[in-house]
Amino acid sequence: NDIEKRIPFSHNDRLGFLTFCPTNLGTTVRASVHIKLPKLAADKAKLEEVASKYHLQVRGTRGEHTEAEGGVYDISNKRRMGLTEYDAVKEMYDG
């Protein structure tokens, strides 16, 4: 709350917090882990299929538009809008 008193955050009642990136509308919460997935890394299509099933996003080790290094991927929740912060983190955890 102290930060919000000093710096205004753009917020819309329907869309949530507004950021420069439309994929972050809503809670803006992106929970992620770096995890080594050697068997799934061998079949990128299967990795994407599994991630999609659980509403997860697969990114390279250094973030969006990067390659995985040593089979280590950044896995995070894909959905941010229409979820509470708790639900966003839980969705990533459950996936």
Place of tokens 């390279």: 60
Per-residue pLDDT at 17: 76
As a whole number, mean pLDDT of residues 19-34 equals: 79
As a whole number, mean pLDDT of residues 36-54 equals: 91
84 is in an annotated binding site: no
Q: What is the pLDDT of residues 50-86, one digit of tens each?
A: 999 999 999 998 888 888 888 899 999 998 888 888 9
Domain boundaries, the chain: 29-94
Count CA within 13 A, CB hemisphere, residue 22. 0
14 is in an annotated binding site: no
26 is in an annotated binding site: no
61 is in an annotated binding site: yes
95 is in an annotated binding site: no
Integer Cα distance of 76 and 82 in angstroms: 16
Q: Is 70 exceeded by the pLDDT of residue 1?
A: no
User: Where are the alpha helices (H) located in the chain, listed in sequence order?
Assistant: 2-6, 38-41, 44-53, 85-94
51 is in an annotated binding site: no
